[in-house]
Amino acid sequence: MRRTLLIASALSIASSFAFAADPGMSKAARDKVANVCQSCHGAKGDSVSGTFPRLNGQQAAYIAAQLKNFREHSRGDPHAMAYMWGMASQLDDALVAELAKYYAAQKPTPPQSGGELAAKGKAIFANGIPEHGVPPCAACHGDHGEGAAEVPRLAGQHGDYLKQQLEAFRSLLRENQVMHANTKDMTDSEIEAVVSYLAND
């Protein structure tokens, strides 16, 4: 019993250190991060599995918009339905804003690119694919994939996650008319190249 209490105390202390960078965070938000979010998205949003996207350094407005989409069931791709509809159902707007601010403030994971495939991906990201009518990704996502406002950061994301999302946009499994238009004529190898340029696994 004593050992169990000591372990619980140690975990509680460790959890409090994780939030030392944001002392103004509410208890509700701290509890949500510690007991729910980090179970899948990892410490400070740096998830270890490509099933779950990295949130560290993500644009706050994008996180907030997606959490509201999950809560309202307006984002209906399979992973959203399986993992996030239930998780977001109890979040009010104030808690959404706190969570978005917390994750946006964390240090982002940099991309880890290299090799011939990544070079091709960099060219697509910067210049698009004119012969396929694909515009430059950088036009919306920023020169370095950093995103802006409700346009997400892509740089440093898990490769498997990026690939899955691009394929979902292409097939309309994840409905987004802008992203569908931008990906519908991309080949598998072009998607692989862009992912190789942006991702960090």
Give residue-wise pLDDT tens across range 167-185.
999 999 999 999 999 999 9
Domain extent listing, the chain: 115-198
The CA-atom distances, in angstroms, between 69 and each of 65, 96, 126 are 6, 11, 29
The reported pLDDT for the residue numbered 5 is 40
Tens-digit pLDDT profile for residues 84-132: 999 999 999 999 999 999 999 999 999 987 778 999 999 999 999 999 8
Convert the pLDDT of each residue in 3-62 to its tens digit.
444 434 444 444 444 444 477 899 999 999 999 999 999 999 999 999 999 999 999 999
pTM for the model stands at: 0.88
* Cα first-last separation, the chain: 40
pLDDT digits (tens, 9 = 90+) for 126-156: 999 999 899 999 999 999 999 999 999 999 9
Cα→Cα distances 89→4, 96, 132, Å? 32, 11, 40
**DSSP H helical segments within 73-114, as ranges?**
78-79, 85-88, 93-104
DSSP secondary structure letter of residue 130: G
pLDDT for residue 99: 98
Can you name the CATH fold of 115-198? Answer: Cytochrome Bc1 Complex; Chain D, domain 2 (1.10.760)
Going by C-alpha positions, the residue among 83, 105, 77 that lies closest to residue 171 is 77
The helix/strand/coil state of 193 is: helix
- Within 10 Å of residue 119's Cβ, how many Cβ atoms? 13
